[in-house]
Amino acid sequence: MLTYPEIDPIIFALGPLKIRWYGLMYVIAFLLAWWLARNRARKSWSIIKPAQVDDLLFYGMLGVIVGGRLGYALFYGWDQLTSDPLYLFKITQGGMSFHGGLAGVMIAMWIYARHLGVRVWGVLDFVAPIVPLGLGFGRIGNFINGELWGKPTDMPWGFNVNGTVLHASMLYEAILEGFVLFVILWVFSSRERPYMSVSGLFLLLYGVFRFAVEFVRVPDSHLGYLAMDWLTMGQVLTLPMIILGSILLVMAYKKRV
């Protein structure tokens, strides 16, 4: 059994300005994503060139913020949204949805691809290997904040939180959906691949990892389990990713034959 270190989520404060670990995690992830994207863009076969990386990441950030918040309001805060439409802008209430953020990024990349006059799947394949870094560091931020704990466990790697030993499900996600997924996708995409294959692999593996971790996560209290005392909203939203990712991989390599 491990003991949760009770980390102060605020690094330091300058008057009303508070610098939080959670925000710092995203800054680190963004800087790493920028550096990796610049290096990958130097490949001769890359559809994105180094000079285009800054604009690409700007579009991506907008997609994450707008899509993530809208997705949370629609998927997890529908009752609050219908009773108060301004709930969408109350960022201190509720949070961000990965699935909404993913949809937002896909739309933003579609717009950017049209602006460049290139294939949208080429742009999505370029971005997909970089996304897991943000997911991984974001989950570390959740751990520092002491949020999104999993179910009680008697496993030796469980954390003692206020007298109860819990699964650190946010760390499971940081490892699987973040760093393991990043390594697999980065290696896989290190040479030219068929269009849609990198995006398909991202959707498939993220879906499998997230679906599995949901079994030890605690569902949102206002939603609970949707069916059979185990099916969560996260799994419902993730299952289409597994199906779509599988279809994209088959289509990508079928076209190459």
Show pLDDT as tens, one digit a residue, over the chain (257 residues): 899 988 898 998 888 888 888 889 988 988 999 999 999 999 999 999 999 999 999 999 899 888 888 888 887 776 777 777 776 766 656 667 888 888 999 999 999 999 999 999 999 999 999 999 989 998 999 999 998 899 999 999 999 998 999 999 999 999 999 999 999 999 999 999 999 999 999 999 999 999 999 999 998 777 788 888 889 888 998 999 999 999 999 999 987 54
DSSP secondary-structure letter at 34?
H
Q: Which residue ranges make up each domain of the chain?
A: 2-191
Task: Label the pairing between strands 164-166 and 17-20.
Answer: unpaired
Q: State the Cα–Cα distance between residues 68 and 74, nearest whole angstrom.
A: 10
pLDDT digits 0-9 by tens, 89-145 = 666 566 678 888 889 999 999 999 999 999 999 999 999 999 999 899 989 999 999
Nearest to 73 by CA among 222, 240, 202: 222
pLDDT digits 0-9 by tens, 95-111 = 678 888 889 999 999 99
Residue labelled with tokens 């993913």: 102
pTM of the entire predicted model: 0.89
Q: Residue 234 has which token pair?
A: 């996260």
